[in-house]
Chains A and B, each alone.
Chain A
Amino acid sequence: MRALVRDIGILLRPRLAPRGLPRRLRGGASRLLVLGTAGALFWSALFAAAWRVLAYFQGIEEIGDILALKLLSMILIICFALLLFSSILTSLSKLYLSRDLLLVHSLPVPRHRIFLARWLDSTFDSGWMVLLFTLPVFLAYGLVFAAGPAYYGSVIFSLTALALTASGLSALAVMVGVILVPAGRMRSIVIVLGVLLFVALYLAVRLARPEQLVNPEVFESVLAYVGSLQAPVSPLLPSTWAYDSIRAALMGAPGASLFNAALAASAVTVLVCLLAIAAERLYFKGFSRTQVASARIFRGRGISNRLLGALPGPARAFAVKEIKSFLRDQSQWSQLFLIAALVVIYVYNFDALPLERSPIQTVYLQNLFSFLNMALALFVLTAVTARFAYPAVSLEREAFWLVKTSPLSLRTFLRIKFVIYYLPLLVLTETLIVATNLLLQVTPFMMALSTLTVFFLVPGIVSLGVGLGAAYPDFKAENPAQTVTSFGGLIFMIASAALIGLVLLLQAGPVYRIFMAGLHGRLLSPGLWAWTLAAFSAAFALSLLAILLPLRYGEKRLSELHI
């Protein structure tokens, strides 16, 4: 036992050293300050929202506690599902795909110990964020229910056991899965399945029209619904053990809380033993299979060459390289499913809007939604840009020397990257805007305003993504797509949100006046014309600056970079 703990300790030592922290979490004091402030703000907002909801529930007679506990049960089920999904992806990386595995497997350490060390590492990576950001919710529960210290101890213990159970189950599934399907491909399958599952669940919830619950005409069904709230959840789910333990502590029943905590702890212990036995037999076999390069899925040749034939040589070279690398990297192209799901959900939401039942005038509401929809679509664009365009430079990885030694200026290189991502992202955003505006049946003025605003803001946001991605590249990242969670990624998110906010703020005043004048058949005054001209010129200037400045900044930082 002592040897086991010693070996695992040694294997985890590189990770526990300060330099072993995830690359995106390292950096100077200013980076930590920005990341810490953003995290603290988010954490506080979560706490405030949870506290508000729970305090509101407490005010509802008879069913207040039932609702609060049902919510707790749902949070724990969602937590468990998130932990399961996240730990499948993390354990695939940590156990089969990480670069340091070749070294680790060459060490004279039994396989199950290597496995357990990597599994613990993976559990921490997959769980810390989920747990950290659910803590404010549990804190709110503790304060609203005036719980004692035992409750907080129970929360920490139950959540840790839940994370270990989820990670253990995922690792077991992954170990068996990798024997059947190569690790690289399995990650794509998991992502695709996850997205499909999410869309299916989402559509199921949306089709149930939960907004009808606030309609007095269906009140009887709400009473029936409240009755169903008390139905017990399956006792076989690990989240139920966590729920029972936390609920008992919350209600001041330490005995029941301890019993359920012991149940969770015994499950973790059995799981760890099972994992060690399975690892000794399966882990190395699967790892060995992963070393064999997988066959190409797309074997079509020359399609991108023909499509991009008209471009000048260097631009074509990089465009073809970018497209082929994207289509052949399963962790990249499988994300297209995510975008498809996003489009379906986005458009469906607008289709399902119950505008006709609103007490506010429909034409006004339709056009108000259309204006707000611009912000929403541009935030979606920011998220997609963060996922694809921001890591574009980091995706060059250690082959970036090829760019540095090629007769291509960094400016041209960044412009090529920009164009490659700009065109599809423009099509995506305009599709979202036009489709939702058609569903909302907005006025031609709002349609023109939305499409034009988006047309001018998309290049700015993509340029922010590519430029800041170039300014803060990580060529050694295990997964460049995750570089967006770094300091540079945060700066990009803030800058993009600020740009969208400023442009829409500039437009809001004149657009409201013009729209109301149109609605009431009034003529526009010269003052309004001047205001409109000034506001739209400022918005246009901002968009232009957003295109030019980030790319220049990225170029400057990239040229100063030592590789």
Chain B
Amino acid sequence: MIELTNLTKTYGAFRAVDRLNLRVERGEIFGFIGPNGAGKTTTIKMMGGILAPTAGSVAVCGIDMQADPENAKRRIGFIPDRPYLYEKLTGTEFLKFTADVYGVPEERFSSKAEAVLTQFALADWGQELIESYSHGMKQRLIMAAAILHDPEVLIVDEPMVGLDPLAIIMVKKLFRELAGRGISIFMSTHTLTVAEDICDRIGVIARGRLIASGTTADLQREANVSTSDLEAVFLNLTAQGAVAP
């Protein structure tokens, strides 16, 4: 469903992402962890078609992002880490905007919008301007909009930032449900417990390179850590990654 091949991004002499190769299968939740500045958001931006890679490619559902970006993007639900939205629209109007852009049929919009607003506890706020929403509410609205057009792939940058505990539980449950329906989820996060709880596989990135990838058990083996705590695994792997050439 998602395939990154030798994905590279350089800014002048600085190599933010370095020959990244990975594949996320249908219905799989892939967690992407790494220290600050490791290249997570740059990778996610290239996957979402926001940033052009210097080399390599991104394929979504077999469609090359560089060659056919519109078609590839139509299959993606994108959730950025910062909830910047059109502040002068109401929540419902923003969903209608998304529905029109992604081609959700008119007759299905009302029921779908109502369902996602209820699901994300925004039903009472649908007619209010987004500028009056809190950070967490904006984040929830972006998530609601991202799944409105039934994407085949969900790309999420730091999904839990700004969410309250109830919303975090709901989002974790939702991601599992979506994966159960065959949607692939690529998620970058700093919240290791979230990655541990819901991801089928986890990739660790440091200094632009994928230094480890696999299930939590695989990572423990690779990091030579006996404890099941992902934090220790992360610290060990990224420390190795930091000294690696």
Contacts and interface: CB of A to CB of B under 8 A. Distances in A.
Interface of A: 293, 296, 305, 313-314, 316-318, 320-321, 324-325, 328-329, 397-399, 401-402, 404-409, 559-560, 562-563
B214 interface: no
A321 B76 CA distance: 22
B26 to A, nearest CB: 20
Contact of B88 (A313, A329, A398, A408): A329
Interface in B70-93: 70-71, 73-74, 76, 78, 80, 82, 84-89, 93
Contacts of A560: 52
Given A293-B131, A405-B50, A407-B71, A324 B101 contact: no
Contacts of B89: 321, 324-325
Contacts of A329: 88
Nearest to A327: B88
Interface in B25-60: 45, 48-52
A405 B78 contact: yes
Contacts of A320: 93, 96-97, 100
9 closest cross-chain pairs (CB), A and B: A317-B100, A398-B84, A407-B74, A293-B132, A325-B88, A328-B88, A405-B78, A313-B100, A407-B73
Contact of A408 (B52, B76, B101): B101
B168 interface: no
B101 A399 contact: no
Nearest to A314: B101
Given A314-B100, A320-B93, A398-B84, 5 more contacts: A293-B132, A328-B129, A399-B84, A401-B78, A407-B102
A405 B49 CA distance: 6
B132 A404 contact: no
B103 A313 contact: yes
B182 interface: no
Contacts of B85: 399, 402
A408 B88 CA distance: 21
Range of interface residues on B (Cβ < 8 Å) = 20 to 34
6 contacts: A317-B99, A318-B97, A318-B101, A401-B84, A407-B73, A408-B101
B84 A317 contact: no
Given A313-B103, A401-B50, A407-B73, A321 B82 contact: no
A316 B88 contact: no
Contacts of A296: 129
B177 to A, nearest CB: 23
B69 interface: yes
Contacts of B88: 324-325, 328-329
Nearest to A559: B52
B97 A321 contact: yes
Interface of B: 45, 48-52, 69-71, 73-74, 76, 78, 80, 82, 84-89, 93, 96-103, 129, 131-132
A313 B101 CA distance: 6
Contact of A407 (B70, B84, B97): B70
A404 B48 contact: yes
A266 B100 CA distance: 62
Contacts of A407: 69-71, 73-74, 101-103
Contacts of B103: 313-314, 407
Summarize A's interface: helix, strand, loop or mixed.
Answer: helix
Given A320-B97, A321-B97, A409-B69, A404 B129 contact: no
A296 to B, nearest CB: 6
A521 to B, nearest CB: 59
B49 A404 contact: yes
Nearest to B51: A562
Nearest to A293: B132
B51 A399 contact: no
A152 B81 CA distance: 56
B80 A401 contact: yes
Nearest to A400: B84
A317 B101 contact: yes
B101 A406 contact: yes
A321 B80 CA distance: 20
A293 B96 CA distance: 23
A335 to B, nearest CB: 15
Nearest to B145: A402
Centre residue among A318, A329, A407 by max chain B CB count within 10 A: A407
A406 B100 CA distance: 11
A406 B52 CA distance: 15
A249 to B, nearest CB: 51
A456 B131 CA distance: 40
Given A313-B101, A324-B89, A405 B131 contact: no
Contacts of A406: 73, 101-102
Nearest to B74: A407
Contact of B84 (A318, A321, A397, A562): A397
Contact of A321 (B70, B86, B129, B132): B86
A321 to B, nearest CB: 5
B101 to A, nearest CB: 5
B162 to A, nearest CB: 15
A321 B145 CA distance: 15
A399 B145 CA distance: 14
A405 B44 CA distance: 11
Contacts of B51: 562-563
Contacts of B132: 293
Contacts of B84: 397-399, 401
B82 A398 contact: yes
A325 B129 CA distance: 10
A293, A305, A321, A563 — most chain B CB neighbours (10 Å): A321
Nearest to B72: A407
A314 B88 CA distance: 18
A328 B89 CA distance: 8
B103 to A, nearest CB: 5
Contacts of A313: 99-101, 103
A405 B70 contact: no
B70 A409 contact: yes
A329 B80 CA distance: 25
Nearest to B47: A405
B209 to A, nearest CB: 21
B52 to A, nearest CB: 8
B156 to A, nearest CB: 12
A408 B82 CA distance: 21
B155 to A, nearest CB: 9
Nearest to A397: B84
Counting chain A CB atoms within 10 Å of each CB, which of B49, B76, B101 scores highest? B101
Given A317-B100, A563-B50, A405 B86 contact: no
Nearest to B77: A405
Nearest to A328: B88
A456 to B, nearest CB: 31
A489 B52 CA distance: 27
Nearest to B69: A409
Nearest to A315: B100
Contacts of A399: 84-87
A354 B235 CA distance: 85
Nearest to A329: B88
Given A328-B88, A328-B129, A563-B50, A405 B76 contact: yes
Contacts of B73: 405-407
B242 to A, nearest CB: 25
A179 B227 CA distance: 60
